[in-house]
Amino acid sequence: MRAWLKRWRETRTLDKRAIPEPLWQLTLARFPFLSFRDATDVARLRDITTLFLARKEFTGTHGLVVDDEMAVAIAAQACVPVLEIGLDWYDGFIGIVVHADAVVAQREYTDDAGVVHEYEEELSGEAMHGGPVMLSWTDVDEAGESAELGYNVVIHEFVHVLDMRNGQADGIPPLPDRHSRDDWLRVLGAEYDRFCARVDSDEDTLLDPYAAEAPEEFFAVASEAFFVAPRHFLTEHPQMYVLLRGFFRQDPAAHAPP
Instruction: Give the interface with Zn ion as residue ranges (CB under 5 A).
Output: 217, 220
Residue 252 gets the label, from left (phi > 0), alpha (psi -120 to 50) or beta, of alpha
CB of 217 to Zn ion, least distance (A): 5
- For Zn ion, which is the closer residue by CB, 8 or 210? 210
Contacts of 175 (CB under 8 A, 6+ apart): 181, 184, 247
- For Zn ion, which is the closer residue by CB, 49 or 124? 124
- For Zn ion, which is the closer residue by CB, 91 or 121? 121
Closest to 23 measured CA to CA, from 55, 44, 4, 49: 49
User: How far apart, in Å, are the Cα atoms of 143 and each of 23, 40, 150, 230?
Assistant: 17, 23, 9, 15
What is the rounded CA–CA span in Å between residue 227 and residue 39?
16
- For Zn ion, which is the closer residue by CB, 103 or 253? 103
CB of 238 to Zn ion, least distance (A): 23
CB of 127 to Zn ion, least distance (A): 7
CB of 220 to Zn ion, least distance (A): 5
- For Zn ion, which is the closer residue by CB, 54 or 196? 196
CB of 168 to Zn ion, least distance (A): 13
User: How far apart, in Å, are the Cα atoms of 241 and each of 76, 188, 225?
Assistant: 22, 10, 10
What is the rounded CA–CA span in Å between residue 77 and residue 135?
12
CB of 211 to Zn ion, least distance (A): 9
Contacts of 6 (CB under 8 A, 6+ apart): none
Amino acid identity of 191?
A: E
- For Zn ion, which is the closer residue by CB, 24 or 192? 192
- For Zn ion, which is the closer residue by CB, 139 or 217? 217
Residues 28, 42 contacting (CB under 8 angstroms): yes
Residues 74, 140 contacting (CB under 8 angstroms): yes
Closest to 225 measured CA to CA, from 238, 213, 166, 186: 238
CB of 157 to Zn ion, least distance (A): 7
